[in-house]
Structure 1
């Protein structure tokens, strides 16, 4: 039993080894911030492919200063090419209220006996009543009550970089920011696909105009470690059935 538990603990440590080694390397000092770099160099970054409409060439008009597809007579200063910067505005308010009550009860009773069985009941001891050889009863009661109340609000401005221009003109945007405050590293990430038409004149776009949006706001540091259950406790919560 001890060897089995030791094997489970060792396997868990190996599975989470990278995270544990990173935390151990930061003992006594602030979490290290990642360097500012090209988001497409991240090993987890992958180019996005989307269903595209048939591309039609824009007609050329002779002696015309207006360019087909332009949104202004002069050059548009909004993000339009790979490497351009666009500001993402995240203003998310989410609330949920769920309440559920269940109640179940069951009672059963079974009895069996053989009062007469080819006269063999006569040879049984007097303490045994053949008409009451078996009797069983069971009862089960289950009452469950659950309630969820959640309110979330996230408001932030995050500048991102256009990493792709899709064939239909849509832009893939990746935004990242990190803040180190009192040994707590705050990490903000926003990725998604936007339309050039949804970029405002001040070069901003709302998060609800982003397709395939992924918004992450988390932290890493001493305060987060205190608020998060240890990996051993998490394993016990998953494995212990009682």
Structure 2
């Protein structure tokens, strides 16, 4: 009975650990950031020029403030392959000849005393792995913070509603204003510390995911 309780507890813990938090739209972590309303201050000189709101005369109008929007061109492609093989063989033999004593061969119960031991083991293993991924598209994100060195932290998400569920793209990272093109776009290859998530919710996504019990039996916790 105690063994059954232990097994049931392990299965319950594994099931809870394997259940991912549901992904929903309007996550506060990816919520859009709106620029703060700066009160208009009367200039002593009477001028309408505001230094913090102006662009350089020869610069393009690119995102550089909190709340500005930047279009990210997703151009991700990864490919990896790995192959390994291992062969191991070991043979061991140990023999003890008949023990002789004065007058003849030592015996026990009429049987000569001798010992023989032989051991042989072999192991062969091979593994091949290959993986290729690609992600192309566009997503508009917000500037959520301007760092002291001028770099911009961006974050945003895009949701697409399909017949049997939703698909989403989430992106966060750090970019340099110099890498933003004149048309206010940047490639995902120039995003530092990038976190790009692409997935789905609904019936279609659920059918391609293992249940928590299957994850337990296929996971590293299962000893067999």
Higher share of residues assigned helix:
1
Distance verdict in 2 for CA 1:152–1:17, change over 3 Å: closer
Using the TM superposition, give the Cα deviation of residue 215 of structure 1 relative to its aligned residue in structure 2, in angstroms: 1.2
Count of aligned pairs: 202
Distance verdict in 2 for CA 1:183–1:161, change over 3 Å: same
Instruction: Give a deviation string over 1:11-38, Cα, whole Å, max 9, x none.
Output: 334445674xx6xxxxxxxxx8523767
- Determine the structure 2 residue equivalent to 1:102: 86
**Which residue, out of 107, 125, 145, partners 1:164?**
145
Q: Does 1:240 align with 2:222?
A: yes
- Determine the structure 2 residue equivalent to 1:59: none
Unaligned runs of 5+ in 1: 23-31, 42-66
Instruction: Give a deviation string over 1:128-167, Cα, whole Å, max 9, x none.
Output: x21x23x222222222222222222110111000010000
Q: Which moved more, 1:81-90 or 1:7-16?
A: 7-16
Q: Does 1:34 align with 2:25?
A: yes
Distance verdict in 2 for CA 1:122–1:98, change over 3 Å: closer
In 1, Cα distance between equivalents of 2:161 and 2:98: 81
Aligned-partner SS, 1:239 = coil
Using the TM superposition, give the Cα deviation of residue 199 of structure 1 relative to its aligned residue in structure 2, in angstroms: 0.6
In 1, Cα distance between equivalents of 2:131 and 2:171: 23
In 2, Cα distance between equivalents of 1:210 and 1:160: 12
Contact 1:40 1:163 in 2 (8 A): no
Q: Does 1:12 align with 2:11?
A: no
Using the TM superposition, give the Cα deviation of residue 104 of structure 1 relative to its aligned residue in structure 2, in angstroms: 2.0
- Determine the structure 2 residue equivalent to 1:200: 181
In 2, Cα distance between equivalents of 1:153 and 1:117: 80
Contact 1:172 1:192 in 2 (8 A): yes
In 2, Cα distance between equivalents of 1:150 and 1:236: 23
TM-score, normalised on structure 1? Answer: 0.71
**Which residue, out of 129, 135, 139, partners 1:154?**
135
In 1, Cα distance between equivalents of 2:28 and 2:66: 15
Q: Give the RMSD, CA atoms, in angstroms.
A: 3.1
- Determine the structure 2 residue equivalent to 1:188: 169
Distance verdict in 2 for CA 1:150–1:15, change over 3 Å: closer
Instruction: Give a deviation string over 1:158-189, Cα, whole Å, max 9, x none.
Output: 10000100001110000211122122221211
Unaligned runs of 5+ in 2: 33-50
TM-score, normalised on structure 2? Answer: 0.76
Distance verdict in 2 for CA 1:18–1:228, change over 3 Å: closer
In 1, Cα distance between equivalents of 2:30 and 2:14: 31
